Amino acid sequence: MKTMNKTLLATAIALASTQSLAAGFQLNSQSATGIGRAFAGDAVIADNASVLARNPAAMALFDAPAFSGGLTYADVQVDVMDATWYSQNLSGQPTMTDLGSIDDAAEGKIIPNIFYIHPLNDTFAVGVGAFTNYGTGTDTSSLTQGKQLGVFGPADLIGNTEVTTVNFNVSMSARINKHLSLGAGLDVVYGEGVLTRQGTVLGQNMQPVDVEADGIGFGGIVGATYEINENHRFGLSYRFSPDMDVEGTLKKIAIEGVIPSMVDYDELTVPLADIAQFAGFHQLTNQFAMHYTAQWTQWSNFDSVDLHKDGLTEVLKDYQWKDSWFLSLGGTYTVNDKWTLRAGYAYDQGVIDEIQSISIPDSDRQWLSAGFSYHLTPKSTIDFGFAHVMGEKVEVKENSMFGQLVAHTESGANYYSIQYSHQF
Helix (H) or strand (E) holding 34: helix 32-36
pLDDT exceeds 80 at position 275: yes
The answer to whether the beta carbons of residues 48 and 136 sit under 8 Å apart is no
Name the CA dihedral angle for 16, 342, 117, 377, rounded to a multiple of 10 degrees.
-110
- Residue 39's pLDDT is what? 95
pLDDT for the residue numbered 23? 53
State the Cα–Cα distance between residues 144 and 100, nearest whole angstrom: 9
Lowest mean pLDDT among 18-32, 154-168, 257-271, 324-338: 18-32
- Cα–Cα distance measured from residue 105 to residue 99, given in angstroms and rounded to the nearest whole number: 14
- Of residues 406, 356, 361, 317, the one with CA closest to residue 87: 406
Higher pLDDT, 66 or 81: 66
| Range in 124-128, 146-150, 290-294, 357-361 with the lowest mean pLDDT | 146-150
Q: Is the per-residue pLDDT at 2 higher than 60? A: no
Residue 173 near residue 181 (C-beta atoms within 8 A): yes
Highest mean pLDDT among 94-108, 135-149, 204-218, 226-240: 226-240
Domains annotated for the chain, with CATH where assigned, are 6-423 (2.40.160.60)
In the chain, % of residues over pLDDT 70: 91
- Give me the pLDDT at residue 257, please: 59
Mean pLDDT of the chain: 86
- 5-55 pLDDT, tens digit per residue, is 333 333 333 333 334 445 556 667 789 999 999 999 999 999 999 999 999
Which pLDDT belongs to residue 386?
97
pTM of the model: 0.88
Q: What is the pLDDT of residue 150?
A: 67
CB contact at 8 A, 81 and 406: no
The confidence band for 399, taking pLDDT boundaries of 50, 70 and 90, is confident
The predicted pLDDT at position 146 comes to: 72
pLDDT in tens, 198-212: 776 666 677 778 888
Q: What is the dihedral of CA 404, 77, 191, 214, to 10 degrees?
A: -60
Least-confidence region, from 69-78, 234-243, 329-338, 382-391: 69-78
C-alpha–C-alpha distance, residues 419 and 424, integer Å: 16
Q: Residue 420: helix, strand or coil by DSSP?
A: strand
Check whether 185 has a pLDDT greater than 90. yes
Stronger pLDDT, 146 or 132, i.e. the higher one: 132
Instruction: Summarize pLDDT for 211-224 with one digit per residue, the tens.
Output: 888 999 999 999 99
Of 125, 108, 5, 105, whose CA–CA distance to 56 is shortest?
125
258 band by pLDDT with thresholds 50, 70 and 90: low
The predicted structure's pLDDT at residue 8: 31
The single-letter code of the amino acid at 146 is G
Nearest Cα to 78, choosing from 290, 393, 310? 393
Percent of the residues in the chain that have a pLDDT greater than 90, as a whole number: 48
Choose among 229, 295, 235: nearest CA to 59.
235
One-letter amino acid for residue 275 of the chain? I
Going 313 to 208 to 166 to 75, the CA torsion angle's sign is positive
Q: Is 269 exposed, middle or buried (0-12, 13-18, 19+ CB in 10 A)?
A: middle
* Res. 412: pLDDT tops 80: yes
What would the mean pLDDT of 261-275 be, rounded to a whole number? Answer: 88
Give the pLDDT confidence score for residue 24 in this predicted structure.
54
Counting Cα atoms < 13 Å in the Cβ hemisphere of 137 gives 18
Any idea which of 248-262, 380-394, 409-423 has the lowest mean pLDDT? 248-262
